[in-house]
Amino acid sequence: MKRFNADTGSEEKLPNVDSFIEEVIELCKKYDLSIRHEDRYGAFEVYGKFDEDSASWLRSAYYIPSK
């Protein structure tokens, strides 16, 4: 899939990022947990049940390369 690269400002295919995110989602499924983002303070939440909507949100993450 193409995702936003914050460094270049364009949509790009980033297979290593896709693989990383899918592995995180597989761990979420394994432990029946989800990673969510709490919008009021910018914190992440670990939710006590796997939720496909949260996984979908995680799949849309931007890529920010290290400097």
Of the two residues 38 and 12, the one the predictor is more confident about is: 12
In the predicted structure, residue 67 carries a pLDDT above the cut 80:
no
Of the two residues 1 and 29, the one the predictor is more confident about is: 29
H or E element, residue 58: helix 52-59
In the predicted structure, residue 41 carries a pLDDT above the cut 90:
no
| pTM for the predicted model, two decimal places | 0.84
Kindly state the average pLDDT of the residues 1-26: 94
In the predicted structure, residue 50 carries a pLDDT above the cut 70:
yes
Kindly state the average pLDDT of the residues 6-18: 94
Q: Which residues of 25-53 are buried (b: 16+ CB within 10 A; e: fewer)?
A: beebeeeebbbbeeeeeeeeeeeeeebee
